[in-house]
Amino acid sequence: MADECCGPQEARPAADAGVERDYGPARLWDVRELRLAAVAAVLLAAGLVIPGRVGAGLQLASAVVGAASFVPGALRNLARRRVGVGTLMTIAAVGAVALGQVTEAAMLGVLFSIAEGLEHYAIARTRRGLRALLGLVPPTASVLRDGVEVQVAPDDLVLGDRMVLRPGERAATDGVILAGRTSLDLSAITGESVPVEAGPGDWVHAGAINGGGAIEVEVLARAADSSLARIVHIVEEAQDRKGGGQRLADRIARPLVPAIMGLAVLIAAVGLVADDPLVWVERALVVLVAASPCALAISIPLTVVAAVGAASRHGTLVKGGAALEELGRVGVVALDKTGTLTRNAPRVVDVVTAGEATRDDVLAAAAALEARSEHPLARAILAAAHTVPTASDVTAVAGHGLHGCVDGMTLRLGKPGWVPARELAADLERLQSAGATVVLVERADTLLGAIAVRDELRDEAPEVISRLHSMGIRTAMLTGDNTRTATALAAQAGIDTVHAELLPEDKATLLAELRAGRAIAMVGDGVNDAPALATADVGIAMGAMGTDVAIETADVALMGEDLRHLPQVLAHARHARTVMLQNVGLSLAIIGVLIPLAAFGVLGLATVVLVHESAEVLVILNAIRAAKTTALPGVTAASPATPQTLAVSVVSKGDSGGCCDAC
């Protein structure tokens, strides 16, 4: 931004977890440009009051002090053969002094320094929110070493340490609970206000507050590699990524600078054939200031920094300006079913047997095939089975199910249709109508029975769909599950349209069709939904806290498990995009109006400087509005949505086959 914007800006150090970074001035008075502006303003005021040479000298000193905030940087850029706004302002200031307009040159220095200082302070203020995240890590941690409890700095924790967390204390890094039960407050990280119950085997993330009894946690990550440090690292990188609007501003600003200089030379050349060359030279200098694209160059980056920083402090990672802008213009939203609309905690609700098979026979056969699967339905079946025989040659048939061998006999587990329902057809219809996902088990071509698994709808899902409807949003569901189960779930959630019994490739294809010229967002877990996430314009990972793959692959990551964050982040992005468009429009309008007025002498240097720098301050203040959020009960905030009609679809990650790999 140093080339196009209002003066030099030192390169920031690369983000690195665990490394202390300089986030810029914490107070207005700490901003160098604002201090120079204050000194220059005092000198200018004194020069205007004191008559004679002393007053003139004070005004000249004011111009020099004000110019100190941008002239050195402009000269350094020129040495690198880089021409920017600082160059334009330097030429204008030097030219004004040469023409005897010292007061105007001093005003230029004062106002330009104020605008530049406010810009640096605004960026530092939004970035400082990330330091607040790292501040969630306590200064010391209690660990048991050789049977003795000692206090160590978080950076001194090593893998395998046994960390002790008492009620009210924060976790210094990530780990797993070894002893004790408690409730964990993750509101500062995920944005959710409801504590999470946790016991042995459950994860504890850095920054989590122990809200219950004392627990012992095994350290599984260094403090510099914790989930919290990783979040800060990703957001810092994201704030530097450019979106389409930011690239547009750059494309306009970069050629505009040399074009402005050419226009100024042309105007000055008119003076060679005019009666008063000095008048046209003065107008050329005024045009340099009037056409400076400073406000345009900072309009998008500052908005992105404010919006991305605000989202990160409320449990949502938006990975850069491109993702933010795409999210702000989304016209279609697709949601995965399992773990997004549902709780991702399915359980076996019924087992129907066929022939002489028993309930245990059916569950054991199914568990043998599901033993190595990580799919939620597999976990439900394994939890319900008393015995798990060893299966061999287990193979997944995408979109259908699994087959393998146990004791020399072939087994098949899968969706109805792939495994015939035969005499259980009536039971199958009954279970599916009740909203259960049903898988059939077959041994040696003989039907053993049917297993009904149900993943309950999230409590907030109907509220989210209702909110989308209130915003004029049309809803639909895409799922690999059977039509009856999908229809039952859609009815509970209040979803309008159901598309069921789709294979994974059908879902990706349908996403492309649903786009219909509008940006489409896909909400999934970042792993099983990779094809759909790749097809969508914006990939959104749900419940991504601590999930490396989900955070890395998605454009947006919702760290918590509350589905209400989805409409909030959409509204927040729309609000930010509106601010971007306002800033770009205002910047271009100011340039378009001031150039002709300056070229024809309607406005003098003092007036143009005042209008130009005032517009820049207005753009800065408007950009900060992108950080504004509006709270809803029980969740963190996002800005109110602008009226816009969307189409929403719900995509399941192949939950009809009863197995992760098969679906």
Q: Which residues are catalytic?
A: 336
Please state, in angstroms and rounded to a whole number, the distance separating the CA atoms of residues 85 and 1. 10
Please state, in angstroms and rounded to a whole number, the distance separating the CA atoms of residues 38 and 117. 11
Beta carbons of 603 and 597 less than 8 angstroms apart: yes
Amino acid in the structure at residue 275: D
- Which DSSP string corresponds to 359-416? HHHHHHHHHHHHTT--SHHHHHHHHH-S-----EEEEEETTTEEEEEETTEEEEEE-B
Please state, in angstroms and rounded to a whole number, the distance separating the CA atoms of residues 563 and 632. 12
Please state, in angstroms and rounded to a whole number, the distance separating the CA atoms of residues 584 and 298. 9
Question: Strand pairing of 162-165 and 215-219?
Answer: antiparallel
**Residues of 551-587 as b/e, b for ≥16 C-beta within 10 angstroms?**
bebbbbbbbbbbbbbbbbbbbbbbbbbbbbebbbebb
Q: Which residue has the tokens 């009904």?
A: 452
For 539, the 3-state DSSP assignment is strand
Strand partners, 150: 143
Please state, in angstroms and rounded to a whole number, the distance separating the CA atoms of residues 564 and 302. 27
Q: Which residue has the tokens 């900072």?
A: 298
Strands (E), 471-574: 474-478, 497-499, 519-524, 538-542, 556-558
Tell me the CA distances in angstroms from 507 to 163, 483, 534, one per residue in order.
45, 15, 12
CB atoms within 10 A of CB 275: 7
Please state, in angstroms and rounded to a whole number, the distance separating the CA atoms of residues 353 and 290. 82
Q: For the purposes of burial, counting CB atoms within 10 Å of the CB of 539, is it exposed (0-12), middle (13-18) or buried (19 or more)?
A: buried
- Which DSSP string corresponds to 484-512? HHHHHHHHHHT--EEE-S--HHHHHHHHH
Beta carbons of 84 and 258 less than 8 angstroms apart: no
Q: What share of the chain is helix, strand, coil (3-state, %, to 5)?
A: 50, 20, 30
φ, ψ of residue 396 to 5 degrees: the values are -95, 135
Amino acid in the structure at residue 34: L
CB atoms within 10 A of CB 387: 10
- Which DSSP string corresponds to 48-105? HHS-HHHHHHHHHHHHHHHHTTTHHHHHHHHHTT---HHHHHHHHHHHHHHTT-HHHH
Please state, in angstroms and rounded to a whole number, the distance separating the CA atoms of residues 309 and 406. 54
Tell me the CA distances in angstroms from 261 to 5, 71, 139, 568, 587, one per residue in order.
15, 17, 54, 45, 18
φ, ψ of residue 659 to 5 degrees: the values are -155, 140
- Three-state secondary structure of 301-321: HHHHHHHHHHHHCCCEEECCH
102: CB partners within 8 A, 6+ apart: 56, 59, 60, 63, 96
